[in-house]
Amino acid sequence: MDLNNLSMKKIRELIVFTAFLVIALWKFDIVIDVIKTIWNILSPFALGGAIAFVINVPMSFLEKKLFGKAKEKGTKAAEKFARPVSLLLTLTGIVVLLILVMFGVIPQLTRTIGTLITNITAFIPQMQAWILEFSHNNQEIMQLVNQIRFDPDQAVRWGMGLLGKGTGNVMNTTILAVGSIVSGITTFFIAFSFACYILFQKEKLRIQVRKVFFAFLPKEKAEASLRICSLTYRTFANFLTGQCLEAVILGSMFLLVLSILKMPYALLIGILIAFTALIPIFGAFIGCATATFLIFMVSPKQAVLFILVFLILQQLEGNLIYPHVVGDSVGLPSIWVLAAVTIGGNLMGIVGMLVFIPLTSVLYTLFREYVYLRLKKRHINWQNFS
């Protein structure tokens, strides 16, 4: 009788699921509109959750290092002020970092653009002379080369015209622009407020989530779901911490070495390498290509030297620094890291590259545990496979 009841329950669930699937496919455009509407409503809270996750990593570190011993002793002042002070210090550090980057990069970038225009103007005749020398006065090639011209005034006029056109479009849509800005500020304010609430009430929220899981799921499934959530949080937090720290170390190394070698744009390249290093696998090479181009416009010899410096520092970082800083926190073989970066980049761009590595690591860990469990149930010693 129990088996019949169980079978009927599964049949009813299958019928309901099939009905919903048919309706969703039949009214696909309506379903998409409903999903978009729901996402627009929930997006500030999703953004707030993402902000809270990122801020929680350094905040928890500061809270543990500054107030850990005092909280263990039961000091009321430490328990009361640990979280607000740690959050304030974290936000202050983020704002100071952004200000330093802005004041360090924007003036340097402005000077770089001016120098780059001058260097391009001087570089084109040199390039034409090189091609003339290597082509042995080939007339067809020289006709193409002589057509290469760079007029700084024309470039400036083109930029101003483009800016003027954009300004005209903005002026024609002033109300829409103001509405977008107000909407963006409102969304960020709601998201930031929600993030602060999560950070201040994270222990209470954790208990509430556990209650919901155990209230609506069987005990085994609830424990398994919470274990997966804990694994996901640890993996993402370790990856975020390690990747940011590794990027700062790599950028500082480039800044120091380029300053010692008296190469141009040392500060700009150091910051550029640090930011692009956040992109797994391909990021540092993107920074290398951009930095090589900037230096090449000043001195081709120094550009070749920079490539050698990049290869040396990249090997040092990959073999010594990265394993100790990031280590096995992600726990994902290299081939799956490459697959995660490729798939994530195709689906979601740079954000996908950053998200898919820890996400793939979680799936890889869970699948590996499932395989080991299956082997154990079948009494197969997997160590004999090696």
pLDDT (tens digit, 9 = 90+) per residue, 72-94? Answer: 777 777 777 888 888 899 889 88
**Other C-beta atoms within 10 Å of 226: how many?**
16
Q: Could you tell me which residue, 261 or 163, shows the higher pLDDT? A: 261
State both tokens at 110. Answer: 């402005």
Amino acid at 117: I
Residue carrying structure tokens 């989530």: 209
Closest-CA residue to 230 (of 252, 200, 210): 210
- Contact, 128 vs 145, CB < 8 A? yes
Enter the DSSP assignment of 95.
H
Q: Band of the pLDDT at 171, cuts 50, 70, 90?
A: very low
pLDDT above 80: residue 304: yes
**Other C-beta atoms within 10 Å of 30: how many?**
11
Residue 70 to residue 42: CA distance in whole angstroms: 38
Q: Could you tell me which residue, 137 or 257, shows the higher pLDDT? A: 257
Residues across the chain: 386
- Contact, 258 vs 309, CB < 8 A? yes
Residue 348 to residue 355: CA distance in whole angstroms: 9
- Contact, 274 vs 248, CB < 8 A? yes
Distance between first and last Cα of the chain: 48
Q: Band of the pLDDT at 308, cuts 50, 70, 90?
A: very high
State both tokens at 331. Answer: 């726990």
